[in-house]
Structures are given as C-alpha cells and as structure tokens.
Amino acid sequence: MSHATLADVVRLLDRRYPPATAESWDRVGLVAGDPDQPVRRVLLAVDPVAAVADEAIAWGADLVVVHHPLLLRGVHSVAATTAKGALLHRLTRAGVALYTAHTNADAAVGGVADELARLLGLRDTRPLVPAPAEALDKHVVFVPAADAERLVDALAAAGAGALGEYRRCAWTATGEGTFTPTEDASPAIGRAGEAARVVEARVEMVAPRRLRAAVVAAMRAAHPYEEPAFDVLELARWDGPTGTGRVGHLAEPLTLHAFAERVAEVLPETVQGIRYAGPADATVRTVAVVGGSGDSLFDAVRACAADVYLTADLRHHPASELREQAEFAARGAAASPPYLVDAAHFASEWPWLAGAERDLRADLAAHGTTVETRVSTLRTDPWTGRVPGVPRSTGSEGHHP
C-alpha cells in the first residue's frame, strides 16, 4: 500500500463529516497544513491544546484530527505571542497539520452521538433533532434513444444521479415521440412542416436542488434537439439519517442510578464524575444522548418521550426548570421523566475518537493507502480537583445559602 497525502485524508474526512452539515457559526475542516504533504501518522484528540501538540510532535504525527475548533471566533493574528498562535507555529514548524470536525461530526452517522449511544448499548437509535435530507430535484428528459447514454453521462458529470455510494443512477424507458417543426426551426431530426416520429428514451435522474442550473445547462448542451422536452420536479423533503443527538432504548430497563453507573463505566474518568437529577430508583428505558453542551435541546427531549437525557454542561436554571416542568406536567407527581444525567463535556465526546480512528483506517485501506493512527488518552478536561461538600446546618443559626 502507498502512503496518503494530506489532501487524500482530508477528502475522506470531509466525506465522513461533510463541512456543509456543520452549524453556521462553526469553523471546521483543515486549519493548517500543506495538502501535498505525506501523512503517515494521525493523532486523534478532543481538544487542540498544548499537551496534545506535545504528544503529536513527540510521536512524530503528520496530522492531528481534533473535535473542538482552535480558531472558532474571528482572529486578526496568529502570531506566536498568543497561546493559539504559538500552538499553530509549533505544529507548523514540526510539519504537523491540524484538522477539525466539530458539529459536523456531532451529527454524522458514526459521529459523536452515534458512538456515545453505541457505548451505552442503545438500540433502534434515531436522531433527536433530525437534519432534513438535502433538497432534491428529479430531472425527466426525453431524448432520441441513441443519445440516451451520452445524455446520462453529461447529467452525471454535472452532479445528477448520485444516491449514497452509487453514481450515475438513472432510469430509462422508450416510447414514441412526435413533433412538427415550424418553418423557423432548425430540427436535428425531421423537416419543417412535416410531422416527425422518433423512438425516444425517457431518462430520469435525481440531483441536489442547488445544482439545478448546472444540470439543466449540461442537459441542454448534450441534447441533440434544438428545444429539448424536459421536466424538473421538486421532490418532497424528508428527515435524513443524521442530526443532533440520538434517541434509543436499552435492552433491559435500569434504575436511574444504575444507568448513571453505566455512563461512568464507559466514559473517561473526570473530576466532575457523573451527576443525575431524579429518584435513584426511577425506571429508565428510553434514552436521549447529546455529546457536549445540550441544555438548549430540552424541548426536543420532552417531545421524544425519553426517560432520561444524558449530556454535558447542564446549568442550574435550565436543569431546574426542566425538572419542575416534568413534575408539573405529571400533576404534582414526586418524580417524572425526563430525568437528567450530566457528564463532563470532554468525557461525553471522547468516545467518538475510537470510531473516527476505525473509520479513517477503513476508508484509507479501501483506497489502497495506509496510515498509523493513535487516539490520545490525555484527559484535556480543564478541571483538576474537587473538594466534597461539607454538611452544614440549614437552620437559622447556621450559615446557609
């Protein structure tokens, strides 16, 4: 097998985690590196921090793939006088490229949410907030049967006929077309004033709506007729297989406490540990998960009827309001789902790295290239210590919040 270039690896990563699926505020893709440089070693990590750069350089990595962006907000300088600038300079001097897959990796098949759900043993998973599939057109063209293959080639070259991992997908059927050219026409077949009958193929191909103009132009250029007969039909929108978070069910129900213990078993240990909100003995069957900060998605969690929601960075007021609303909706019941399980941000996203490593190696092998990979085991969670709370009296004579 041959070695890959950075351009090869980026192309495969972009295919797994399409940059166009990232949130509008996000910054993903290649951050630094020469597309022509060879890539023999790839390090995968959650955070682009100095310790990860140290590990990459010491190991001799050619590329670091991270989840969190280094340059999320606009910058006007990457001088080494700043922490981020210094990190970029160190990587560049060592010949180490940097690539980010963030919200595009959150939503992808095999991405952050999928790997988290898989580790927890969730079945029959679906997106918590589905991303709509790309808007499609169906192009229907009538062309002399002898020119049908050439027309299909032209439409495919313009981006039509791509369905998943298949290209140049088309359906054709033959029939008889008839027309009468006027005196001002310049027909490719037939003569002015005389009815012509032609064996024609009906060609149907789908294409992204954003490519409509290019596909129609390609059709006109390849079609032998002066005035081609064609239709462009807008297909209905539907939910795609990707989206934010995942919802699934456990093979066997667990108590809330037991589920929190399972979360602690499969995620990296952090100072925060695992917190939960709800009765320890509450029953958990249906689970919603979002890697990283997820308290903006409480409405979707309620709508999906999950028993418990696992995410990170839960804030006091949103979490409290969700629990209050759940209990109010249950007409004053002592406990009502959705319950909450809160993990550290870093820990909830780290499981994706192993899946990303596996998929990258498989994709490269399928293209006849190979790289050595490593998942960083550095704990880049920023918290380094915790002091347990000290029990205090809450009476009027004691200190209390």
Same domain, 167 and 225: yes
Question: Is 400 among the domain residues?
Answer: no
Residue 83 domain boundaries: 6-107+348-375
Domain boundary pick from 234, 257, 273: 234
The DSSP letter of residue 280 is T
Averaged pLDDT score across all residues of the chain: 93
Question: Is 156 among the domain residues?
Answer: yes
Same domain, 10 and 102: yes
Q: Is 76 annotated as a binding-site member?
A: no
Instruction: CATH number of the domain at 188, please.
Output: 3.30.70.120
Taking residues 148-161, report their average pLDDT.
97
- Tokens 């990979």 locate to 373
Please tell me the predicted confidence (pLDDT) of residue 136: 95
Same domain, 249 and 339: yes
pLDDT tens, position by position, 52-102: 999 999 999 999 999 999 998 888 888 999 999 999 999 999 999 999 999
Instruction: CATH number of the domain at 280, please.
Output: 3.40.1390.30
The β-bridge relationship of strands 171-179 and 196-208 is antiparallel
Question: Is 75 among the domain residues?
Answer: yes
Give phi and psi for 165, each to the nearest 5.
-95, 15
Same domain, 162 and 196: yes
Q: How far is CA 318 from CA 35, 82, 197, 299, 342, in A?
A: 44, 35, 70, 11, 13
Q: How confident is the model at residue 336 (pLDDT cuts 50, 70, 90)?
A: confident
Please tell me the predicted confidence (pLDDT) of residue 75: 81
Q: Is 106 annotated as a binding-site member?
A: yes
8 Å CB contact between 86 and 80: yes
Q: Is 349 annotated as a binding-site member?
A: yes
Q: Which of 249, 361, 348 is nearest to 308 (CA)?
A: 249
pLDDT tens, position by position, 162-194: 987 799 999 999 999 999 999 899 998 988 999
Taking residues 308-319, report their average pLDDT.
95
Q: Report the number of distinct structural domains present in the chain.
A: 3
Question: Is 382 among the domain residues?
Answer: no
pLDDT tens, position by position, 190-205: 889 999 999 999 999 9
pTM of the model: 0.81
Q: How confident is the model at residue 42 (pLDDT cuts 50, 70, 90)?
A: very high
**Complete edge-to-edge strand list for the sheet that includes strand 123-132:** 123-132, 239-255, 283-293, 308-312, 339-343, 275-277
Same domain, 124 and 248: yes
Question: Is 1 among the domain residues?
Answer: no
**Close Cβ partners of 162 (under 8 Å, ≥ 6 residues apart):** 156, 169, 207
Same domain, 56 and 145: no
Angle (deg, nearest 10), helices 352-366 and 6-16 = 120
Q: Is 68 annotated as a binding-site member?
A: yes
Q: Is 67 annotated as a binding-site member?
A: yes
**Close Cβ partners of 247 (under 8 Å, ≥ 6 residues apart):** 125, 126, 127, 128, 286, 287, 288, 289, 304, 306
Question: Is 27 among the domain residues?
Answer: yes
Same domain, 127 and 265: yes
pLDDT tens, position by position, 360-396: 999 999 989 989 999 999 999 999 999 988 887 665 4
Chain centroid to Cα 255, Å, comes to: 31
8 Å CB contact between 308 and 288: yes
Please tell me the predicted confidence (pLDDT) of residue 398: 47
Angle (deg, nearest 10), helices 50-59 and 83-93 = 10
